[in-house]
Structure 1
Amino acid sequence: MDKKSADKAIRLWIIAMSALFFVFFGMRSICVFALSIVVNTIFAKIISEKNKGLPIAVVFNVSLLCAFKYSGNPVMPVAISFYTFQQIAFLTELKRGNIKDFSLLNYLSYILFFPKILQGPLSEYDNLNRQIASLSEKKINSEGIMDGLYLFALGLFKKVLLSDILGKAVDFGYGNVASLTALDAVIVAISYSFQLYFDFSGYCDMAEGVCRMMGIELQMNFNAPYIARNISDFWDRWHITLTKFFTKYVYIPLGGSRRGVLRTYLNILIVFFISGIWHGKGLTFIIWGMMHGVMMVITRIKAHPSTDKDKSKNGPDKNKPFGAINVIKTALTFIYVTAAWVFFRAPSVNDAALILKKCATGIGQYGLHISIELAECFQLDELWYVFKVTPIPSWNKSGYLCMWIILVVSALFIFSGKTARNMADKFAQGNNGILKTVFISIIFVWSVLSLGGVSTFLYVNF
């Protein structure tokens, strides 16, 4: 089979497998996605042939998203936020001439590509298309398969055995805001920061793991975001591809930092306002977005930037070792980000304000007490079965042990500064083949056995 035929066969396989994958999310999601694909295919043909129609195409895509996201629909079509942004990015690059020839096969294999379809990353067309085109020349790579399995198992572990356990405590806390003690409120707020990270990055790890087994490298979407030293650094690390999307298709077209200092700050606030309403409807999401926008402006004022280029010059050195000052900066940034996440998760502004009030001032009223009902949300049956053959169950505070284990393990995982990609690369370079296989097998089997109560991914709802 020649290269052209092989490339066509691979793309058809990707399209078929992606369509089969999407079938499991129901007819409503299929129909909306199909509508998006058909209409955007028409727009792509018009743009490629006549170089017209991009503004109307953008309005269509944004309107389709808003029609489902903000009109009170009880069930939103799966992945609509992500593939809408991918459609806009594709058409914009086509208009700019960065995609030379429109090909239906290339377009469908990019938009439908199943590992990234639900939650990203928001992949650039050129990058992904080039890698798909090179698959016909690649041979099966056992190291790549093992590397991918490691990433997939690690992502599954983060989702099933960390995010979902933390999620039970979060759901309890936000469902019983009035009765939380001060330490309850602190634990619930931190647990949501951890849950959201493990849930979203866990999905991206699994997506990248599948891609590595295929011989494709997805763009990095998380780079140890909670060790950031300011908000600008945080957004260079958290949901990296979304940050790039907003920078490339919103911030820069608005003028970026080319139209003066005040306009630069206004553009930043507009970007974060849009980010807030993209994530969800309601005042809580707008507050979350503006908290980040205002702090981003403050960070820029302190750095005295005059151009976008200055941002990279004045930004924190990510390779600089942690010292006392940097630890304080990281702690303060994490506290601020966590406070913003409270609005992101809370059902109302009043609930978010009450949780933050308890975190800040509640110790005088409640003392250093943690509700046993909250602690029991962290109970992991597998750990408790081990504890039962020891004297631990007879301890006075044994009901709190699983909670502290989950929180400490989560904190070590998050604040170590290591990403799943770092760990996978180190795993691939090592020589302890048997130990690696055993490790992968244990976390994979443990995660699979716990799949019965697994929840949906959080970002599917955004």
Structure 2
Amino acid sequence: MEFSSFIFLYCFFPLVFILYRIVSSRYRNLVLLGASVFFYTWGQPQYIILLVFSVGVNYSFGLIIETQQKKGIRNLFFIVDICINLFLLGYYKYYGDYSVKINAAVHHELLPITNVVLPLGISFYTFLSISYIVDVYRMKSKAQRNILDFALYISFFPQIISGPINKYNEIEGQITNHPINSSKTAYGIKRFIYGLGKKVILANTFGAVTDSILKNPTSEIGTGLMWIAAILYTLQIYYDFSGYSDMAIGLGKMFGFDFIENFNYPYLAKSVQDFWRRWHISLSTWFKEYLYIPLGGNRKGNLRTYLNLLIVFFVTGFWHGAGFKYIAWGLFYGVFLVLERLFLNKWLKGNKLSFINHIYTLLIIIVAWVIFRANNLHTAMKYIKIMFTPNSGSEQISSFIDIKIVTFVIVGILLSGVLQSFIKKTKLLVYDEKKIYITESLVQFVILFISIMMLISSSIKSFIYFQF
């Protein structure tokens, strides 16, 4: 069920919101859990058993790990639980693709071919489960005694499909204590509307043009058109994913939860390291806490730090999907992070012309998104070659770009952080939870109206990160 679908906007959410407000506080978590199960079942009813199994296993192992006094047995249960989570993620996310690749490589049906459908949100709720188990194992958090409250943490509908990935130690107190008030509700509505506008008005518009360009054979796409497609996709994925995160954060606020911010104007970054502090913050901090630091972080010398960075970004790419393009995308960033630690950071910090740092970072980001967007790594290499080898192509830019798209691109660039960096008040308004401004309320009404009109006149487009 899409947040931007009519069934969600006009049926599911209003009913859940009203029911949540009228029931006694002791039953509110039960309402949210029931709504979350229904939300997930609506999308993939065949996989609700898998979600229930994941909840049951992690709940049981959390209790065992906390109460077990013998270190060896405690470690064993911890390892077994992590392996179960990773096995489920690995089978459902990677087996189908890699079994075909392995059989093709050995020219023999070594592995049986099965049509495995990726369960919605499995990448995200697996990481939520691992966060819980690790926090209990490290004794940073107490094991959750109430299985219904634990099930709500794993399955809460605003975050289960595409995050944010709220680490258990950061949100455990909110599971049993998430008071609601008018200011939180108003702020939640505001963030939801902004997110809806990002997705429906901007991301979908950029995506439609990008798709129409890239559906053509690479031989027909010229250098200029390829750069336009790359820039449009760079804007599309930002507004698509940050729009989803805004909507999830807004929904959480309306039910009394404070979710982690997932984006901080990443296209304002002046280094690759800075970009990953601003992009998909909940994922990058998850990898930092549960993978990078346990590997040794930067505490074991430079060579080990470089290796750890490459491992983390290899896993980051692999987490996104089974295709080699995702691994290449992750390692592409990993290599530049290593290069920045080796020598680029000194140059970037010493450079007085900061706009050059910004151009360097944007260039890396755009090329990385080309790899990410391509159907496969081979096609990605063709796209990159077109971008950096002058070629006119047979497709005309004017066939895809008009004054409307140019206007949308200008607005998209301005709102991606440029305007906020020059007019600080615009950024403060978005994150102000206390005050309601008449002008801003009128802007929200216009955004909501335009979004609804565009939803009526076009088909629902899934969020990009739903596929992960």
- Work out whether the TM-score is over 0.5: yes
The alignment's TM-score, normalised by the length of structure 2, stands at 0.82
The alignment's TM-score, normalised by the length of structure 1, stands at 0.83
Cα distance in structure 1, aligned partners of 2:460 and 2:420: 25
Per-residue deviation, 1:156: 0.4
Cα distance in structure 1, aligned partners of 2:173 and 2:393: 59
Residue from 198, 208, 212 that aligns with 2:249: 208
SS in 2 for 1:116: coil
Cα distance in structure 2, aligned partners of 1:21 and 1:324: 51
Q: Are 1:255 and 2:261 counterparts?
A: no
**Residue deviations 1:148-181, cap 9 Å, x none?**
2111111001111111111112222322132112
Give the match for residue 110 of structure 2. none
Q: 1:6 to 1:127 in 2, by over 3 A?
A: farther
Q: 1:332 to 1:117 in 2, by over 3 A?
A: same
The answer to whether the Cα contact below 8 Å between 1:48 and 1:102 also exists between their aligned partners in 2 is: no
Query: Following superposition of structure 1 onto structure 2, how do residues 106-145 of structure 1 map, counting pairs within 5 Å?
Result: 106-135=149-178, 138=179, 140-141=181-182, 143-145=183-185
Query: Following superposition of structure 1 onto structure 2, how do residues 151-170 of structure 1 map, counting pairs within 5 Å?
Result: 151-170=191-210
Cα distance in structure 2, aligned partners of 1:286 and 1:127: 30
Q: 1:36 to 1:427 in 2, by over 3 A?
A: closer
Residue from 447, 450, 455 that aligns with 1:446: 450
Cα distance in structure 2, aligned partners of 1:110 and 1:139: 18
Give the match for residue 390 of structure 2. 362
Give the match for residue 76 of structure 1. 118
The answer to whether the Cα contact below 8 Å between 1:221 and 1:239 also exists between their aligned partners in 2 is: yes
Give the match for residue 400 of structure 2. 374
Q: 1:86 to 1:315 in 2, by over 3 A?
A: farther
Cα distance in structure 2, aligned partners of 1:296 and 1:122: 23
In structure 1, give the amino acid aligned to 2:127: F
In structure 2, give the amino acid aligned to 1:457: F
Give the match for residue 104 of structure 2. none
Give the match for residue 326 of structure 1. 354
Cα distance in structure 1, aligned partners of 2:410 and 2:433: 23
Q: Are 1:57 and 2:81 counterparts?
A: yes
Cα distance in structure 1, aligned partners of 2:433 and 2:278: 22
In structure 2, give the amino acid aligned to 1:61: N
Give the match for residue 96 of structure 1. 138
SS in 2 for 1:252: helix
SS in 1 for 2:400: helix
Q: 1:271 to 1:256 in 2, by over 3 A?
A: same
In structure 1, give the amino acid aligned to 2:150: Y
Cα distance in structure 2, aligned partners of 1:187 and 1:421: 28
Give the match for residue 222 of structure 2. 181
Cα distance in structure 1, aligned partners of 2:180 and 2:265: 32
Q: What are structure 1's unaligned runs of at least 5 residues?
A: 306-313, 318-322, 376-399
**Residue deviations 1:190-216, cap 9 Å, x none?**
111111111110000001111222332
**Residue deviations 1:220-267, cap 9 Å, x none?**
110000110011000000011111111111111111112211011001
Per-residue deviation, 1:100: 2.1
Number of equivalent positions: 414
Runs of 4+ more than 3 Å apart: 5-8, 314-317, 417-423, 426-430
Q: 1:269 to 1:145 in 2, by over 3 A?
A: same
Q: What are structure 2's unaligned runs of at least 5 residues?
A: 1-22, 69-73, 97-114
Query: Following superposition of structure 1 onto structure 2, how do residues 235-384 of structure 1 map, counting pairs within 5 Å?
Result: 235-302=276-343, 325-363=353-391, 365=392, 370-375=396-401
Q: 1:412 to 1:287 in 2, by over 3 A?
A: same
